[in-house]
């Protein structure tokens, strides 16, 4: 039996290339066998992650003498700006997921190989990455000459009890599918409970959705939920269910939308409230169970022991049908592990990089997007620009520092309304500055609100969709939603 197990390792020459060694998983083996062959004469570029940063890097770094491999556990690019809409059926999930293999096939600039796998560890000295393949039963050690780490981030639960086990999230396509299914299932259960004359508390709990975190993710999700209640719940499940459907937004800080100008954040909060969202600021969630949430007033770091005791005494627990955790992001395990190996700290929030986005202390390794501590915000806009920059730097061997060009920030507040905070030199501002609902905010920023901002939000994100096929499918979703209502198909 031992001999059979030892004979199991094979070299995968096909999909991965002659230099990749595959073994069966066995934690006892500390060496991969047989060893990876010596490097080929092509430069081996390995990109970890198929998101905004990784995909843009892949598209730019192709060229003669380059052997590019993109590695990701998900075989698609996820178009995150439309993810909140997909959770209530404004768009379908298929429209916001672009298969990586199709992107590669349709790209003129790259002939990258794709491996569906999870990067578990990086050996910066040996210049290898250890992967676990998609079905989780094979280990793979991939050597590189240049490594681009673009693995993004994961929801941060801050170790709050019960969150990991009981909360829903809004980060990946699967999260959106789970949330959509939960909403539809709770609506049906509440309708049935009403029909059976069950007590009010059961119905009200099923019809309560709590969104934790008033950042852009939480605000956009609440806006989509408010649209869903107004347009779809009333007509499909009846007025009583729609009237009792509650959307609660809990934000620990004194105001929602921290990254936006206070006037715009205030406008967003008021708009959500007029649409029936209960916005609770200075309200920290401290515990979550399968069907309940505990809140208490949040306190500044400087709070005294007495104030903390008082806040704990004011804690309230409420029954909920769905709780969505949108309270921020943290580093993935592979990033934390590498940061630790490089002496960048025990519990790093990302990888420290220099002005060329090269990881400090790791030769030939770049970190981009949400997993990099580059001094820029964790947004798609930053990730895409960093991806393009690193791709070009690898292709052209250029040494120019990265320079981020901020176009502005947008947040959708539901159909027909949004806020936009733009740089005055931005083209969108120049064409919109004469429209209604525009003003100056902050030192040198311009704000657009209401319908013009919504048109900007839709237009901008529509044109940035990757392919004609996703544009077609998102257009079809939007037309269907406005004519026939949102997608309320429960998964079969
Ligand atoms: P991601 O896009 O998250 O991609 C990471 C990739 O790495 C994924 O393919 C993942 O599968 C892969 N990966 C994960 N672990 C591993 C591993 N161990 N090995 C290999 N691969 C791995 N930003 C904006 O600017 N505008 C918006 O409107 C906007 N809307 C958003 C809406 C939502 C709901 C969310 C959640 C975020 C939104 N953002 C927006 C933020 C934006 O999506 C992120 O900043 C952006 O996705 C970061 O890009 P990235 O490539 O670093 O990470
Ligand atoms: P975030 O970090 O911006 O916001 C999380 C919020 O949750 C914070 O305001 C925080 O105070 C709050 N919070 C944390 N713990 C809490 C608790 N226990 N109880 C109550 N509230 C708590 O995270 P978000 O919104 O997911 O955004 C992540 C990144 O993605 C940001 O950089 C954001 O700009 C970007 N993004 C941009 C969008 C856009 O441009 N339209 C849309 C969505 C995300």
pLDDT tens for each residue of 239-282:
999 999 999 999 999 999 998 999 999 999 999 999 999 999 99
The answer, yes or no, to whether residue 414 has pLDDT greater than 90, is yes
Q: What is the ipTM of this complex?
A: 0.99
* Residue 350 CA to ligand 1 centre (angstroms): 14
Mean pLDDT of 218-229: 98
Query: From the CA of 38, how far away is ligand 2's center (Å)?
Result: 45
Residue 25: its pLDDT value, please? Answer: 39
Per-residue pLDDT for 189 more than 60? yes
Each residue's pLDDT tens digit, 135-157: 767 899 999 999 999 999 999 99
Which protein residues touch ligand 2 with a CB less than 6 Å away? 160, 212-218, 220, 250-253, 258-259, 284-285, 326-329, 377-379, 409-411
Which tops the pLDDT comparison, 440 or 309?
309
Q: How confident is the model at residue 345 (pLDDT cuts 50, 70, 90)?
A: confident
For residue 71, pLDDT beyond 50: yes
Higher pLDDT, 64 or 170: 170
Q: Ligand 1 pocket test: pick from 151, 153, 169, 389 the residue with the most ligand atoms within 8 Å of its Cβ.
A: 151
> With 80 as the cut, is the pLDDT of residue 424 above it?
no
Q: What atom in ligand 2 is closest to the CA of residue 171?
A: 26
User: What is the distance between the alpha carbons of residues 55 and 278, in angstroms, rounded to a whole number?
Assistant: 38
pLDDT for the residue 11? 30
Q: What is the pLDDT of residue 43?
A: 94
Query: What per-residue confidence (pLDDT) applies to 14?
Result: 33
- Mutate-to-test residue for ligand 2 from 156, 212, 215, 256, highest number of ligand atoms within 8 A of CB: 215
Distance 71 CA to ligand 1 centre (A): 14
How far is CA 407 from each of CA 34, 94, 249, 420, 460, rounded to the nearest angstrom? 50, 28, 28, 10, 11
pLDDT averaged over every residue in the chain: 89
pLDDT for the residue 24: 37
Rounded to an integer, the average pLDDT of 101-105 is: 94
Q: Name all domains of the chain by residue range, CATH numbers in brackets.
A: 34-153+331-396 (3.50.50.100), 163-327 (3.50.50.100), 408-462 (no CATH)
Q: What is the mean pLDDT of residues 412-425?
A: 90
Q: What percent of the chain has pLDDT over 90?
A: 78
Q: pLDDT-based confidence at 18, cuts 50/70/90?
A: very low
In this prediction, residue 63 carries a pLDDT of: 85
Average pLDDT over residues 198-203: 88
Is there an atom of ligand 1 within 6 Å of 350 CB?
no
pTM value?
Answer: 0.91
The residue to mutate among 52, 96, 172, 213, having the most atoms of ligand 2 within 8 angstroms of its beta carbon, is 213
């Amino acid at each position: 039996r031992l001999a059979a197990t030892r004979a199991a390792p094979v070299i995968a020459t096909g999909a991965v290339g002659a230099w990749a060694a595959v073994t069966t998983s066995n934690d006892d083996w500390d060496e991969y066998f047989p060893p990876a062959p010596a490097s080929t004469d092509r430069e081996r570029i390995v990109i970890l992650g198929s998101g905004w940063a990784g995909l843009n890097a892949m598209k730019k770094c192709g060229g003669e003498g380059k052997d590019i491999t993109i590695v990701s556990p998900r075989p698609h690019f996820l178009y995150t700006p439309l993810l909140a809409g997909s959770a209530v059926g404004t768009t379908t999930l298929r429209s916001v997921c672009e298969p990586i293999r199709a992107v590669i096939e349709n790209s003129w600039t790259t002939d990258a190989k794709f491996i569906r796998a999870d990067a578990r560890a990086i050996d910066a000295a040996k210049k290898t990455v250890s992967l676990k393949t998609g079905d989780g039963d094979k280990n793979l050690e991939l050597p590189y000459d240049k490594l681009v780490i673009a693995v993004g981030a994961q929801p941060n639960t801050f170790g709050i009890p019960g969150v990991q086990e009981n909360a829903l999230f809004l980060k990946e396509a699967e999260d959106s599918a789970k949330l959509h299914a939960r909403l539809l299932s709770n609506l049906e259960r509440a309708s049935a409970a009403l029909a059976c004359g069950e007590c009010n508390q059961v119905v009200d709990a099923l019809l309560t959705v709590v969104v934790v975190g008033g950042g852009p993710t939480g605000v956009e999700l609440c806006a989509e939920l408010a649209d869903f209640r107004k347009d779809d719940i009333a007509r499909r499940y009846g007025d009583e269910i729609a009237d009792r459907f509650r959307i609660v937004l809990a934000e620990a800080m004194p105001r929602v939308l921290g990254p936006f100008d206070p006037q715009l954040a205030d406008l967003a909060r008021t708009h959500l409230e007029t649409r029936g969202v209960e916005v609770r600021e200075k309200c920290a969630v401290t515990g979550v169970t399968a069907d309940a949430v505990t809140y208490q007033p949040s306190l500044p770091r400087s709070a005294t022991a007495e104030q903390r005791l008082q806040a704990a005494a004011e804690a309230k627990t409420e029954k909920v049908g769905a709780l969505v955790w949108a309270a921020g992001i943290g580093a993935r395990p592979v990033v934390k592990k590498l940061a630790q190996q490089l002496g960048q700290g025990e519990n790093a929030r990302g990888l420290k990089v220099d002005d060329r986005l090269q990881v400090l202390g790791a030769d030939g390794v770049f970190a981009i997007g949400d997993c990099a501590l580059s001094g820029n915000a964790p947004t798609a806009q930053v990730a895409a620009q960093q991806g393009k920059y690193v791709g070009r730097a690898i292709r052209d061997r250029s040494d120019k520092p990265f320079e981020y060009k901020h176009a502005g920030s947008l947040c959708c507040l539901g159909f027909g309304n949004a806020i936009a905070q733009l740089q005055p030199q931005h083209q969108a501002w120049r064409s919109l500055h004469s429209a209604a609902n525009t003003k100056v905010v902050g030192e040198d920023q311009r704000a657009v609100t209401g319908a013009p901002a919504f048109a900007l939000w839709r237009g901008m994100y529509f044109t940035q969709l990757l392919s004609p096929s996703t544009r077609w499918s998102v257009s079809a979703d939007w037309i269907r939603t406005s004519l026939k209502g949102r997608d309320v198909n429960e998964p079969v």
